[in-house]
Chains A and B, each alone.
Chain A
């Protein structure tokens, strides 16, 4: 009986995780000019994180690149990303939607 409950719980957790994963929306690659140290990265991540629908932000400091993944049903506009980077005191180098055909403005 106990093992059946455990199996049920595991299945439930797996279902929740897969739902969350599946709920991820489009991703965008942002290159930030001027990004040169970890402390800088936080300010930019915080500004990007304020945008409605942002689910995760992964930063690669060596490349000066951030991958922003949105919640399902949300998109990120280049001008909004540029505004966030600007408010952090840096400059948007490039903006690219990763899940869509070549475009720089996925709205």
Chain B
């Protein structure tokens, strides 16, 4: 039985994963995932991304309504020409409203730093030519349990997915591809995160396939010098989650597959970038009574040091 929607519980986790997987740090990069473009040796890139997510399409009688406001701070450093190190730390404010057993409306929430993600990316292949480049960069890392995983409210301990942190060390890896010209940029990424158990709970593993197309809208014609570029952006994220496990038992109301399509804008200069995008669910095939996403907006900036 796999007709699904995403479980409420999986929501924050998915959000964090989507958000933190997103340090498309260099150049006119994607906003929802990684890029293969280089961070120059000795350079630092700082990215701050603010997000708001809403999910309230609940097939269960609980009328769940999930809202998440957050900020993701990302720092990248070019250790060598090909090797870049990244760290990402989310701060998330999650609020879940639902009907209680007596029909009263309940609110459960958490707020705080989430799990930090650390990963290294190595540019394994590059093909440079005048005005264009093609790159392939595998990456490997781990999501560390820096967030609080024992938050409580007046009803008791929060469900694990509503906690700020997972409590587990979760390895991740994948490969990013980038083809960039002066007029447009194409990015693609495959990533896998193997989640491990903590507190008797294990989030389902995540596999994702992402694509991004950025097209230079302005200036239409390039002159001399280095003008700022305004890009129109369209991204797609196909994300599959395995079911969560609680004390070794699979949760039938968790996991599933989602496809997001995301239009956005990005203004790129030498030293900084401002960007914004809206992630809209195009298809959601989630298990059991999982809660479907409505939308996620992201706005942020990047600075090159």
Binding site for B on A (CB under 8 A): 31, 33-47, 58-64, 86-91, 93
Contacts and interface: CB of A to CB of B under 8 A. Distances in A.
Interface of B: 26-28, 37-43, 78, 81-82, 123, 126, 128-133, 180-182, 185, 222-229, 268-271, 273, 304
B133 A36 contact: yes
A39 B28 contact: yes
Contacts, number: 109
B270 A35 contact: no
B143 to A, nearest CB: 26
B181 A36 contact: yes
Given A33-B130, A87-B81, A93-B130, A61 B38 contact: no
21 contacts: A34-B133, A36-B131, A38-B226, A38-B268, A38-B270, A39-B270, A40-B26, A40-B27, A40-B37, A46-B42, A47-B40, A47-B42, A61-B182, A61-B222, A62-B223, A87-B81, A88-B41, A89-B81, A89-B82, A90-B128, A91-B126
A88 B222 contact: no
A87 B42 contact: yes
A92 B250 CA distance: 55
Nearest to B180: A36
B258 to A, nearest CB: 30
Contact of A36 (B182, B224, B271, B304): B182
A62 B222 contact: yes
A47 B224 CA distance: 21
A27 B151 CA distance: 62
